[in-house]
Amino acid sequence: MTQTELEKLVYNYPTKYSEGFIWEEQKELLKQFPNINQDKYWGAMKGNTCIMRNGHMVSYHCDILTALCCGIDNRNMTLEEWD
């Protein structure tokens, strides 16, 4: 999957909240990537800014995209990727 395709997938994903993904949606999204390094994905999600909506923690699309790239590429986040 190209970077552009990955961006389209993340930003067009049918999320409950327009701001981003709840935990359950992240788990569903990850099913599309059976070979992803989940440790790298979840490691990249640590410390991200998020919001609460109706008792759900919502992670922003940009953070999901970065975490997917880390998991797919089997790498840690770079300094440039921290927001």
Distance CA 43, CA 28 (A): 18
Distance CA 8, CA 82 (A): 21
Please identify every stretch of the chain with a pLDDT value under 70, giving residue numbers as ranges: 83
Q: What is the pLDDT of residue 1?
A: 86
Q: What is the pLDDT of residue 81?
A: 84
Distance CA 43, CA 30 (A): 14
Q: What is the pLDDT of residue 79?
A: 85
For residue 49, give the nearest of 60, 64, 65 by alpha carbon. Answer: 60
Distance CA 52, CA 69 (A): 24
pTM confidence score: 0.93
